[in-house]
Structures are given as structure tokens and as C-alpha cells.
Chains A and B, each alone.
Chain A
Amino acid sequence: MMPQPFIDWKAHVRAKLPPLITAAERESEIVDELALQLEATYERERRRGASHDDAMAAAASEVPDWPAFARSVRTIERPFAPPPVAGDRSGGIMTGLVQDIRYAIRALRRAPGFAAVSILTLALGISATTVVYSIVDGILLRPLPIANPDRVMLARELSPAFTDMGLSWPNYLDWAARQTSFETFAAWSGATANLTGIERPRRLNVRRVTANLLTALGVKVALGRDFTADDDKWGVERTAIVSRGFWQRELGGSADAIGRRVMLDESPVTVIGVLPRGFTVAREEDIFLPLGTYLDPDNAGIMLRGNHSSLAAIGRLRNGVTVEAATAEIKGIARQLEQEYPNTNSGNGATVRPLFETLVSTARPMLYVLLGAVTAMLLIACVNLANLMLARAAGRAQEMAVRRSLGAARWRIGRQMLTESVLLAVAGGAAGVALAYAGFGAIVALLPANQPRIHLIAIDSRVLFAAAVASLGTGVLFGLMPAIQAATGRSMTLLRSARVTGLGHAGAGTRRALLLAEVALALVLVTGAGLMLRTMANLAAIDTGFTREQLVTAQFNLPARYDQAKRQLFLDQSIERLRAIPGVTKAAFGYSIPVAGSNWNSIFTIEGQPVPERSKLPSSAWIPVSPEYFDTMGIRLIQGRLFDGRDLPGAPAAVIVNETFARRFFGNNNPVGTRVKQGWPEDSGPFSPWREIIGVVNDVRMNSLQGDPTLQAYLPIRQVGQRSGAFVVRASTSAATLGRSIEAAVQEIDPNLPLFNIQTMDQIIDGAIGNERLTMVLLMGFASLALLMAAIGVFGVTAYSVSQRTHELGIRMALGANRGSVLALVLRQELGACLAGIAIGIVGAFFLASLLESLLFGVTARDAATLSVAAVVLIAVTVCACLLPAYRATRVDPVTALRLD
């Protein structure tokens, strides 16, 4: 005999049996009895030799009409009617609630399709909200961990060439001495340092600060002491205040860490304090160091008024002083300095902005776009949920009517419906948070690595709380609508008409309005995604000026023990070792890495050309490179020659310029042979020689992918010498796996030298357009889901509406309407809402586009083509979603339709 397939008869019965509205225990007894009977019938038939299918059919014939069966049992069991039906108030709210929940669970288990779609819809909406909110919260919403953060300003300089420029040290001193707006006026400068004396040397983020910085921020050390003026001057032994993380990682987290010495850039530094837990400003800083200990009076560079490094002033406003007043004062001081030091300061102004603002301003447009998009996405999910609920309510109208006629209070039925939707919200929210956890890492990794406060992004209690509020809010808000409908319906009318008309046209109208909103929101998202897609395509099509594939870069910073001769030897040996790594074809040195940004920008003059006034002097990127650089990068020579063995110290100083440089200053003439000088017109001496242009190379995207090409001037490293920079390595195979070999090769030469920012060029470029990429990826995801949900929504509403109109359509067809005209009728009426939604969506898309503007490249925010394509996509999707139910309408048999009465 054939093996018996296992059949769970109880589950079978539960799936078929509509709610009996009786006590749970009684209902389960009835299920048991029926299951036994069906099983016995099935087995009897099998024993008689019937096939599985025939035996199943025999079992099915036991109860040919489940709803009718349920109705007859309900009528008999009526006196048993449980609290949700009887509106029993004796059991107290809690008992009622528990019963409601139990009942809701059972009801949802009986409608697994409805429950699954609802939970999935909510889960998608909530997961998107959770991830986006975690990013917005980390970057934008979390307050700075300092006292009264809105009173702390950051001030820098600006010039005609640069809208934001580091403050020069002498200018800072003058600002500090003359200002009266700030109670404390400190300065800081971001830097890095090598931590040595440990097993594997590593690169640290450090911040060089004036002794009063923590006072300005209103932060107290958690352990040890703050800097004093005595720590903050040249020549004293260097002290350090370390982050809590560094204290725990490197110093064992013990109190006797105070006074310990660590080796930074190969010189000892004494730890005097530990920062409080959670204290971070822009990035995760490991160590604060006194700025004064770097101000070598013999180091010409840093003490120059014209030298703008990465210094910024940090001031805390005095009570009663406004941001505007402080800004006006600092700008006034900058004007005084302009007059006092015209050679260095002419044209230089000042910017004063709240510190928090400087950290979040670049990310703000993207975050607003994402917030807008995710709100739209959540709303769409809500609309779908509401539609599902309404449809379900319509399907259960009769059940509700029976309950009402059995004496259930209106509020009781409403509460029951609400319990169901809250239950769905909880399940959907939980699933959404789980989804968010799963996708969180991959999405946050798309953010640019240098995004301030990126380390604060996390799915933590704040974010989870927001997710919970969002899911419950959604559940309650959209569960309320069908609950109200269920509670207000008239029981007798419903009882009579429920079978035929469901909730009637009021419900259908609400659903159509929701549909309109859904289509509008979907159009907004699809348009946004389209604009970002075109932006990314335009960005990808940009000619970077070099071959980006299979290129690895690794940065380093040589310690003080390297003099000029040792540095050159280090570079030569490193490049040789790097080239010897299997899979590496070329290697070179470059002071700045394309796209990542130029590390050295300076004004210059051209021999034989008029010198403009000081504030209008042109500025170029100056990039010392090794001779192999151009070949390694794939940068083409256009005129003249590249650097070679001739360009040694002592030989005539040489420079190679880019095409933009040549075209701007020489037009169509050949610039080769002309001389240029970096620095002020009056500068002279070994640091500002006249350099002869020996060649012209193609433009490279230096500071970003977007924007016009900048002026670029390359110098031979042998004639300049640099302490820091980057190796660029060209691989013949996959570049991504070379990082360890590159570090190992360099550490064969200097084991104490950490390499940092080891990245492929692709990673650097991806990082540079991280905001755009993240926006595109999320908008694409949201838009796809929005389209899917809109399609489901349109389909559902149309199918529902057609089913409601079977009678009317039957009459029309009986009166001679042909199928084509019925199809047209349904399409016209159902598509009306969609088209209205699309029209509203176009208005919404304009609104989103204005938010999106700053992220777009090569396409305008109101691009007609994108908008048209988005509208066509929406129309196509809605037409398809309408078509199936509309077609079904044409299959209505007039006779059957009429008999429904």
C-alpha cells in the first residue's frame, strides 16, 4: 500500500473554519471533533482503495460549506457567546484585553495571507525608517557632548580662492587678543600621529589643542588633570589627554595610567588625563596634545602669517552675545589685520559658525532627502496597511454584524479591531527592526568615511524607541480607520446587506483616496530615484584623468629622525620593494591623492606675465611626485617631457603643469620653457625658486569628482622632499587584497612605520561620492518597494471595487453593454484616482527635488525627462495593476450577477 501522507487534520479544520465566536475552549473541542471525523472518513476511503485525492474529496464532502456550517454552529452556541461578542464589562479592562489579544491572535492565524502581507509591509517600512533614522540621529540629532553646545562657535578664515581656509597661527593670536565676544577663545587642529613602542605600530587621530580648549567646550577630564599654560609651550615635555577608548585599549583602563608614557611619532608623551566616556566631537579622537609644543620658533612654516594649515578657533560666547555680534566682531578684526598685514592678509575674511553646524552642514541635505524619502515610504506602507485593513473589515462585515446583533457593544468591536492592528504593528515592527539590523552595516558603509560623527551612528535604545513609536503609531492610526467603520456600522442593515455589498461605497471611497496618496508618494520616490540614478551615471562617466582600476594607495608620515637624504633613500627603497610584490606592476610616490584632495595649495606667479593684486593671485595644487608617478597613475603627457634622472637636487628646478593650467595662462602657446614661482611675488631663496615648466599632462580630478578641473603643478620629489605622502601601487590582479603585502614591504625597511588609509582608488572615489551613492541606493530601494506597494494597492482596490460592482456590471451587460465598454468603464473610473495621484505626485516631486538639488550632478532637479519617465512608469504599473481585475469584470455572467440579490 502507498505510504500515508501526513495530514494535520486539526490545522486543516482551523484553516477552513470561520470564527465561531464562542469560547476558545469550546471552539477547540469542535475543531477536534471535526478533525477526527474528517480523518476517519479519509482513512476509511483509503482502506477501501481510494486514491489520496479521492479520499481527500470524501473528507471534504463531510463539510461542503464551511461558512454555512459555522453559521449554524454559531446560532446553536449563542448562549455561550464570549466577552468580545457580548460586550461583557464585568471582567474588567485587563481580562477583556487579554481576551481581545487571544482572539486577535486566533483571527490573524485564520487569515495567514492577510497577516503575512501586513507584517511584511510594515516590516519594510519600519526597517527603512529605522536605518535612516539611525543615520539622521547619529549625525544630526544627537547633541554634542559638551556644555550648551549652541554657544560654542568655530571660526576660520576665507579668501577669494577658498570659501573655508585654515586659520594661520599669528592671525589666531591676534583674534584671541582683540576679541571680546567669547569668554574662552581656544584653537584646535586635526592631525595624525604614529603610535609606536607597541607590537604593531598604528596611526592615531590626534587633535592639537590650546590649553583652554576643554574649558571652551565646557568638558572636564574624567581622570587626571586638564592642560595648563605650562603644558602648552614649545620645549616642554609633551603631555597628552587621551580618549576613554585609548585609555582602555592601550593603558589597561587603570587609574595608574596617569603619568604613564606612550611613544608618539617616536618621542615620549606623558598621559596626564582621560576624557569622559562618550566624548567625541567630529571623529573618534584618540589623543589631545598641547598645540604649543608643536610651535617651534625656528620652524619658519607654522609661524608664518600666510601659512594656513588646518587650524580653527573654538570659542564659547559670553552671556548675552549673539552669534551675529560675534561674527561681526571677528570679521572686523580680520579687516583690521588685512590693513595691518596687506602682504599676507589682503582679501582674507573670517567665518564664524556654530561648531555643530560645521560638522553636520555637508550631510544635512542628504539627510533631509533620506528623511523625506523614508517618510514617503512609511506613508505608503501605512496606506497599504490601511487598505488591507479596510478590505479585511469589508470581508468581515457580516461577522461584525452578527456580533452586533448578538449584543456586542460598538466600542468593544472597535477595540477588537484595534487590538488586531496593534498586534500586527508589534509583529511588523519587530520584523522591521530585525531587517534593519541585517542591512544596517552595508548601508552605513556607503557613507563617506570622513563624514563627521559617523561613529555615532548606531541602532541603540534611542533608535529602537523611535522604531517602536513609528510601528505602534502606524498600527493605531491605520487600525483606527476600519475600527471606526466597524463600530459605527448599523448592525441590522449590515446583517442584511453584508454578504452582497460588504462595507458599501463609503469604504471604497476611503480606499480610493488612500490609493491616490499612495500613487502620489510613489511617483515622488521614483522621480527622486531617477534623478539620483542619472547623477550616479553622470558621475561614473566623469573622466578622472587617470586609470582608476587596480590602483592601491597607502599613506605614511615619516618621523623626525628622517632627514632629507634618509627620506629620499626610504622612498627609493620602498618603491623598489613595492614593485617586487607579486602582482604589482608599478609603484610610485605622490604627495596628494587624486579625488581625495590636494594637501598643498599655494599662490604663484608666472615669469613674464603681469602680477595681479595680492588678493587676486592665482592658486594651484602643488604635488611633489616621484618620476614613476605619471606612468603608475596612467596620466598622459601632452607636451614636453616627464620627470627623469635629470631632475635632481641642484639641477634646474622643474615643474609639470596640467592642461587647465597651460590653457589658462598660455592659451594656445606652448608653456614649456616658461618659469613659475610658488609663493608670494617677493618670495625668494631656496624654498621659492623659479621653476621651469618642462611638460604638460592631462587634467586630474583632484579635490572631488565634480566641479571644474583645478590648476595642478607637479614637482619632482627629489628637488622638494616631503615627510608625508602616499604610495600608489598598480596591480595586475585584484588590488583589494594587496594592503597587507604593501604594509609588510614598507615595514621591511622601517618596522616602526605604520601605513594608513590603505585604500583602492575605487574605494576613494566611492567615498568621495558616498552621499550621492547612499542616497541613490536608498532611493532606488524605496522607489522599487513603493512601486510594488502601489501596484498591490491599485490591484487590491480595483479588485475590491469590481467585486462590489458585480451586480451593477451584470445589469449593464444584461442591458447590452459589450465587454470592451465594461473594460473601458472600469479602467476609466479606477485609473482616475491613479492619474490624480500622479498629478499630485508631480507637485510633490518638485518639492523633493529642491531638497535633492545639492546632491545632483549633470541633471537639474526639475528635469522634465526624468519626471516624464517616472510618470510613465507609474502609469504603466497602475494600468497593469488595474487591468486584471478590470478584465475579470468583463467575465461577469449577467445572470449570476443578478441573482446575487
Chain B
Amino acid sequence: MFHTYMAQTDISTRSLQKGSAEFLLLSILDGPDRHGYELAQIIEARSGGKLSFKAATLYPLLYKLEKQGWVSGRWVEKAGERRRRFYRLTAGGRKVLGARRRVWREFVEALDQVARIRHA
């Protein structure tokens, strides 16, 4: 999938990351609620360590998404643990994610047709 594509490039991922970071977070949040550290962990694990979101990048992004109304955070306290802030996708966020997925799919397919980036 997507991480396969990232793993097989050796161009600088930085500019791609910047544009795609929002998309990444929205995609991961299209599932169970996650707290910030988990999000960072998942991104790192799924990208095989190629992508890592430091707190300095992650949180401003989350706050921005929240401000835009695409994700919502809430504090959850579990017995014996400190409170954590869990983020989930809002209805608005889901719409945005759907639209972005379409755009990306079309973009990747177009690339593939031109550059044959997918072998299998």
C-alpha cells in the first residue's frame, strides 16, 4: 500500500511528507481513537522507521486539524494511568479524508501509468 510506495523511494521525503502529513494522520484516525504518542508510533511502525513524526511536527498538525474541525480530541482517564488525549475523526474529517483518498489514488495511478512505479 501506501507505505510500500514510500519505502521504495529514495528521493527526499521531506516535501512529500509535508503535504501528505495531514492525510497520514487523518487516515490513521479512520479507525480506533488514538492518542498522540500512539499516532507517532503507528506511523513509525507502518513506515518501517522511514517516517517518524516527532512531537514538534505531530502536535501542531493535530491542533490544526482540530481547529479545522476534522478531528476532535478528548481527555480520557483510565484507572492507574495518567489522563491522555485521544483523537478521533469527525464527520467533517471523514468527508475530507474521502476526498483526499480519491485525489491521492488518482495521483498515484497517474504516476504509475507514467513511471511504472508499481511492479506487482
Contacts and interface: CB of A to CB of B under 8 A. Distances in A.
B55 A73 contact: no
A101 to B, nearest CB: 27
A660 to B, nearest CB: 87
Contacts of B37: 36-37, 40-41
A77 B54 contact: no
A31 to B, nearest CB: 11
A691 to B, nearest CB: 98
Nearest to A61: B54
A37 B60 contact: no
A38 B58 CA distance: 13
B83 to A, nearest CB: 7
A31 B30 CA distance: 26
Contact of B60 (A61, A73, A79): A73
Interface in A59-73: 61-65, 68-69, 72-73
Contacts of A30: 59, 63
A36 B56 contact: no
A198 interface: no
10 contacts: A32-B83, A34-B55, A36-B82, A41-B37, A62-B55, A69-B60, A72-B60, A76-B64, A77-B67, A79-B67
A34 B54 contact: no
Nearest to B66: A76
B55 A76 contact: no
Interface residues on B, range: 10 to 19
B94 interface: no
B107 to A, nearest CB: 27
A29 interface: yes
B85 interface: yes
B56 A69 contact: yes
Contacts of A77: 63, 67
Contacts of A72: 60
B55 A29 contact: no
Interface in A29-88: 29-30, 32-34, 36-38, 40-41, 61-65, 68-69, 72-73, 76-77, 79
A607 B59 CA distance: 109
Interface in B55-102: 55-56, 58-60, 63-64, 67, 75, 82-85
- B55, B60, B67, most chain A CB atoms within 10 A: B55
A36 B60 contact: no
A589 to B, nearest CB: 82
Interface string A21-33: 0000000011011
Interface of B: 35-37, 40, 54-56, 58-60, 63-64, 67, 75, 82-85
Contact of A36 (B63, B64, B84): B84
Given A62-B56, A65-B56, A77-B67, 5 more contacts: A29-B75, A34-B55, A37-B59, A40-B37, A77-B63
A40 B58 CA distance: 15
Contacts of A34: 55, 59
Interface residues on A, range: 20 to 34
B55 A63 contact: yes
A248 to B, nearest CB: 62
Contacts of A73: 59-60, 63
A37 B40 contact: yes
B36 A36 contact: yes
Contacts of B59: 30, 33-34, 37, 73
A30 B62 CA distance: 11
- A30, A72, A79, most chain B CB atoms within 10 A: A72
Contact of A63 (B56, B64, B84): B56
Given A72-B60, A73-B63, A76-B67, A33 B54 contact: no
A79 B66 CA distance: 13
Nearest to B39: A37
The 3 closest A-B pairs by CB, nearest first: A62-B55, A72-B60, A63-B56
B93 to A, nearest CB: 16
A69 B62 CA distance: 13
- B36, B56, B82, most chain A CB atoms within 10 A: B56
Contacts of A32: 83, 85
Contact of B56 (A40, A64, A79): A64
A737 to B, nearest CB: 62
A487 to B, nearest CB: 30
A34 to B, nearest CB: 6
Nearest to A73: B60
A113 to B, nearest CB: 25
Nearest to B40: A37
B36 A37 contact: yes
Contacts of B64: 76
Contacts of B84: 36
B69 to A, nearest CB: 12
B37 to A, nearest CB: 5
A39 B110 CA distance: 43
B83 A37 contact: no
Contacts of B55: 34, 37-38, 62-63
B39 to A, nearest CB: 10
- B37, B82, B83, most chain A CB atoms within 10 A: B37
Contacts of A40: 37
B83 A76 contact: no
A63 to B, nearest CB: 4
Given A36-B82, A37-B40, A62 B60 contact: no
A477 to B, nearest CB: 41
Nearest to A64: B56
Interface in A737-785: none
Contacts of B75: 29
A295 B22 CA distance: 108
A40 B75 CA distance: 17
Contacts of A76: 60, 63-64, 67
A64 B57 CA distance: 10
A75 to B, nearest CB: 8
